Amino acid sequence: MLEDATLQLLQAGGKRIRPVFVLLAGKFGAYDIHRLKHIGVSLELIHMASLVHDDVIDDAELRRGQETVKAKYDNRVAMYTGDYIFAKAVESAAFFDEPKLHQAMSRVIHEMVVGEIEQIRYQYEWDQDIKTYFRRIKRKTALLIAGSCELGAIAVGAPESSQRALYRYGYEVGMAYQIIDDVLDFTGTEEELGKPAGGDLLQGNVTLPALYAMHHDPSVKERITRAFMDGEPDEQTLAELLTLVKNSGGIEYAKELSERYLNKAYQTLETLPQIPAVHSLSEIATYIGSRRF
């Protein structure tokens, strides 16, 4: 059952962007695919495990256009599946005996869990500030991408200056990535997202476009608060709330901030040795910025 549940998520697809960052970061040292593959696998499994647990917390039925583990089996199986995948991630990383590598990976997992707990803590908290949002997405998303870049560099003995620069680049790209994801939840379709649009708002996860809308127009905040007073709003009410947020300027504001992070990422790349991998990292940043709003 564990293997079936795990394979279901693996075969559902995904960008596999974290292993890509590991492999590209490995170009800044003594590139060795036989070392790097253990880090790439480990980080993708950590990401997968967090998704399985997320779907339980969010009571989500769809992930990447397919039934979630939680929906196909139940919450208990999903939680143990997530734990099993985490254990596999640790097993893959056990290939290495460098303490620095294990410390960096432990730090990433720790911060991810704190970010998830913060998301639960601030669910349906319509008065939160933007600083809280940035701290949450940093922990939930950006640090795993930063860690992917850093760990790839550590695994091949890249210079510490390159390790630091790659970590910074990963953080900046990761922040942009999550902001754009949060925008797409308002502007995308279920077919494009692989899950229903507006899911974040429906689950009480207050993201940047909604925060902007509520801060700049008290009537939007009042309408959203009122819609959730008696439980989950119906489809028509949710559609109205999404339109309010989209018309508030919140989408444009979030897009501008994501572009600022991407510009910082490009600047960070300029500090690295100018090898072909820098061009690939730059193209990934461009791809992230070009995802449809």
Q: How many independent structural domains does the chain possess?
A: 1
Contact residues for 74 (Cβ-Cβ < 8 A; gap 6+):
none
What residue numbers bound the domain in which 79 lies? 2-290
Residue 8: predicted pLDDT: 78
AA letter at 214: M
- CATH number of the structural domain spanning residue 109: 1.10.600.10
pLDDT exceeds 60 at position 229: yes
pLDDT of residue 291 exceeding 80, the answer is no
Strand segments (E) across 73-213: none
Provide the residue type at 85 as one letter.
Answer: I
Identify the CA nearest to 143 among candidates 117, 104, 181: 104
Do 82 and 50 contact (CB within 8 A), yes or no? yes
Residue with tokens 């959203």: 224
CB under 8 Å to 266, separation ≥6 — which residues?
282, 285
Q: Please give the model's pTM, rounded to 2 decimal places.
A: 0.90
pLDDT band, very low/low/confident/very high, at 194 (cuts 50, 70, 90): low
Dihedrals φ, ψ of 156, to 5°?
-110, 10
3-state secondary structure of 288: helix
Segment 121-161, tens digit of pLDDT = 999 999 999 999 999 999 999 999 999 999 999 999 999 99
Give the confidence band of 293 by pLDDT, cuts at 50, 70, 90.
very low
